[in-house]
């Protein structure tokens, strides 16, 4: 190399390239590959199964100019540093770039930037290494496995079920989890029980609540109102005596710093950000944000990690800030140590701010709203992880009344510790929380209490709730399914394919999702088997560590997979799982589930002799409800019955004699357009997302993703208001020029056109 040549650093994103170039101050040229430059071909399998599963990687369509620019820059560089993301995916990108530039410059080295800061960049360049073949082969193995499943099973679903469907090696067991949970909910039979509460008072103190726990020394199980009434009648004149008091100090340890899965879970709980949104925002915070006076700054460490490890410098900086801001009482004598579970790679640090001196307060008004909220979450979680435990004084009091035993529980926060900066959000409210009350501090053994009131309350046992984004990711993580880099993709893919839909923030399988899940379970048991999927992840880890070869893992998988594939080609049939108890209203034959490009529907089992079709839904127990039972009227063209259909772009009313008669009309909502007052209609985009538009289109082009509400705007008189999504519901007007809102108006909305 001639003198005067600069080093070249190749990273994935232009934002990251700009940040690194700024820190290096012209000492190196930094350019971006903009992600992968090579992948398997789109229109063929691209894997030579007979020749050791050799992949056919091609330049990604549209990346030719980028590859040529990389070669040109490499030919003029003293050394080429490949700085793609520090994970398996990044290693594969680096490997493919090296294959292309090696001919013009063989002086190539791999660098890992765990944080895009001056220190992180310098440390990465100092510890550069050769490309890791094992890590690369692990990623190649994963890509080939995914291609074999997707490219071979998906076309089978197209032929047997409907076009556009897909099967995925990791998404399929995730879908099975959601479907099985839904069926558990449908099969669940609620049991009635009654809670009896005593409102008690000591002297002139404030009353407190005690719950009935035992009768005659046995746990109280009251199953009817009559029984509850008898118990209350028998105890209303009883003496209530304090029989036992237990007091103890309870310590609550701080949570560990974020890893990918916990970040996605807490971002959903606290901020209602989907895993996909969380990772997109985190990527931008990692790569660099323009900060006044500083320029481009990487604000957090790398966000795809399963390790709780932290650098000693970061821990020391956090401890100094905690001591200064909160005092020595909030600082433990030694930094807490958090150990990862299971198959943690421990290759990266946990997710943390690159500097705790860059507080959220200093970035308010600088970062976009969602970026600020996520940064604040990451910052507070990291700070909390280095603080002292929270301390509470808990009191449990047993109170006797005849042969009944009541219990009162109280908890008083004694020292906040890490709770000073971190609040916890739970997926489901614990009924035990309702038992927490306050009891008089001077309550003593033998005290007789005054009964103010005995109440009885009817309750019913509840099934397990549907998965939320957070609880699904937690379940996948606990079962060893997927990796930090795949959790967000799994959830978004299930939604985009229409296999799952969000209902009140929870994931519910669609009819299509049920069918695909059942077919895969029936014919490709290994693909949806939780243990097998977790075992495959372990094998990919072993490839990365050099314990196994990817060809060995692929051969083991393909042996059984190919047999299942051939069998499914002969036996897969919707008839095996499409029966319903409903009868055809035209000929009396059973109705069966069918699938078309437009969606899932019921059709007569005597097709093509009888062509009756209709939409259907399910009741709370999963039983099929035929939608045509509703009075939709008769077709104005042929006088046949009209039925409700669920098409690719939303619901519509159609003739039951389709395809002979192709009459259709939209389903009009009761809510009206705020622009022209015409009825609104519910539609779906090409990606399956629901939106609402004016029935007067194309004359009126109003459309929005927000759900309409039948309420007039009190400010401008518009015929409908709209409701935002998320935990904290907001209601607002979308009439042009009106700013009426109850709660916070969403930052971005689709405006009337």
Packing angle, helices 88-101 and 133-160, rounded to 10? 100
Question: Whole-angstrom Cα distance, residue 300 to residue 286?
Answer: 5
Residues linked to residue 201 through DSSP beta bridges, in sequence order: 450
Active-site annotation holds for 740: no
| Residues 13 and 32 sit within 8 Å (Cβ to Cβ) | yes
Question: Whole-angstrom Cα distance, residue 618 to residue 175?
Answer: 19
Contacts of 319 (CB under 8 A, 6+ apart): 331, 335, 386
Question: Whole-angstrom Cα distance, residue 644 to residue 654?
Answer: 6
486: Cα within 13 Å, side-chain hemisphere: 21
The closest of 543, 489, 484, 595 to 169, measured between CA atoms, is 489
Question: Whole-angstrom Cα distance, residue 427 to residue 272?
Answer: 12
Neighbours of 311 (CB within 10 A): 17
Only one residue has tokens 């690369």, namely 136
Q: What 3-state DSSP class applies to 329?
A: helix
Packing angle, helices 275-287 and 369-385, rounded to 10? 80
Q: Please identify which of the residues 81, 114, 286, 302 carries the catalytic annotation.
A: 302
Which stretches does DSSP call E strand in 559-667?
579-583, 590-596, 599-604, 613-614, 616-618, 624-626, 642-647, 650-655, 664-666
Question: Whole-angstrom Cα distance, residue 584 to residue 605?
Answer: 8
Residues linked to residue 370 through DSSP beta bridges, in sequence order: none
CB burial class (10 A; 0-12, 13-18, 19+) of residue 532? middle
Neighbours of 368 (CB within 10 A): 12
Give the residue numbers annotated as catalytic, written as ranges: 302
């Amino acid at each position: 190399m001639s003198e005067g040549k600069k080093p070249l650093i190749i990273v994935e994103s232009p934002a990251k390239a700009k940040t690194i170039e700024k820190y290096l101050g012209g000492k190196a040229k930094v350019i971006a590959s903009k992600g992968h430059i090579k992948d398997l071909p789109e229109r063929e399998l691209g894997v030579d199964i007979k020749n050791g599963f050799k992949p056919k990687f091609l330049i990604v369509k549209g990346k030719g100019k980028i590859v040529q620019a990389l070669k040109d820059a490499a030919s003029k560089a003293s050394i080429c540093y490949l700085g793609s993301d520090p994970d398996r995916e990044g290693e594969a990108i680096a490997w493919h770039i090296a294959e292309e530039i090696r001919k013009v410059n063989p002086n190539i080295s791999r660098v890992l930037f765990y944080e895009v800061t001056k220190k992180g960049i310098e440390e990465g360049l100092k510890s550069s290494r050769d490309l890791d073949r094992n890590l690369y082969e692990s990623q190649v193995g994963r890509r080939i496995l995914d291609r074999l499943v997707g490219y071979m099973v998906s076309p089978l679903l197209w032929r047997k079920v409907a076009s556009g469907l897909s099967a995925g090696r990791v998404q399929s067991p995730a879908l099975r989890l959601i479907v099985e949970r839904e069926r558990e909910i449908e099969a669940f039979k609620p049991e009635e029980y009654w809670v009896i509460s005593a409102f008690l008072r000591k002297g002139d103190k404030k009353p407190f609540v005690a719950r009935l726990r035992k009768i005659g020394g046995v746990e109280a199980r009251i199953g009817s109102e009559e029984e509850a009434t008898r118990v209350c009648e028998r105890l209303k004149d009883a003496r209530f005596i304090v029989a036992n008091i237990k007091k103890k100090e309870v310590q609550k340890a701080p949570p560990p710093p974020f890893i990918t899965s916990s970040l996605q879970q807490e971002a959903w709980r606290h901020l209602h950000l989907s895993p996909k949104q969380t990772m997109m925002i985190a990527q931008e915070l990692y790569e660099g944000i323009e900060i006044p006076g500083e320029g481009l700054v990487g604000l957090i460490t790398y966000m795809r990690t399963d390790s709780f490890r932290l650098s000693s410098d970061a821990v020391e900086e956090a401890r100094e800030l905690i001591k200064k801001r909160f005092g020595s009482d909030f600082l433990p004598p030694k930094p807490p140590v958090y150990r990862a579970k299971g198959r943690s790679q421990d290759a990266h640090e946990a997710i943390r701010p690159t500097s705790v001196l860059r507080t959220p307060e200093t970035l308010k008004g600088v970062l976009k709203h969602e970026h600020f909220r996520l940064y604040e979450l990451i910052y507070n979680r990291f700070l909390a992880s280095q603080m002292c435990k929270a301390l509470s004084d808990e009191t449990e009091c047993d109170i006797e009344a005849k042969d009944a035993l009541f219990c009162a529980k109280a908890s008083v926060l004694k020292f906040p510790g890490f709770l000073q900066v971190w609040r916890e959000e739970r997926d489901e409210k614990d009924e035990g929380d309702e038992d927490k009350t306050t009891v008089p501090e001077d309550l003593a053994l033998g005290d007789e209490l005054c009964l103010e009131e005995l109440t009885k309350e009817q309750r019913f046992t509840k099934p397990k709730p549907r998965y939320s984004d957070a609880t699904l990711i937690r379940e996948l993580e606990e079962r060893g399914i997927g990796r930090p880099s795949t959790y967000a993709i799994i959830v978004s893919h299930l939604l985009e394919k229409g296999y799952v839909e969000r209902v009140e923030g929870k994931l519910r399988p669609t009819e299509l999702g049920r069918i695909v899940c059942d077919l895969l379970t029936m014919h490709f048991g290994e693909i949806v088997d939780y243990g097998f999927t977790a075992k495959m992840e372990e094998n990919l880890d072993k490839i990365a560590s050099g314990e196994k070869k990817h060809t060995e893992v692929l051969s083991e998988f393909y042996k059984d997979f190919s047999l299942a594939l051939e069998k499914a080609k002969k036996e897969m049939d919707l008839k095996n799982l499409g029966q319903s108890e409903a009868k055809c209203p035209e000929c009396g034959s059973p109705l069966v589930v069918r699938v078309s490009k437009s969606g899932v529907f019921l059709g007569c089992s005597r097709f093509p002799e009888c062509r009756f079709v209709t939409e259907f839904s399910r009741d709370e127990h999963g039983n099929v409800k035929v939608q045509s039972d509703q009075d939709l009227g008769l077709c104005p063209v042929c006088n046949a019955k009209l039925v409700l259909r669920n098409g690719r772009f939303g619901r519509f009313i159609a003739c039951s004699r389709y395809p002979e008669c192709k009459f259709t009309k939209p389903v009009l909502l009761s809510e009206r357009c705020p622009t022209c007052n015409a009825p609104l209609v519910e539609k779906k985009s090409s990606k399956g997302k629901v939106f609402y538009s004016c029935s007067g289109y194309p004359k009126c082009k109003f459309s929005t993703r927000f759900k309409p509400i039948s309420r007039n705007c009190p400010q401008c008189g518009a015929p409908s208001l709209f409701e935002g999504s998320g935990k904290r519901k907001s209601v607002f007007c979308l009439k042009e020029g009106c700013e009426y809102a109850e709660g916070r108006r969403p930052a971005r909305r689709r405006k009337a056109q």
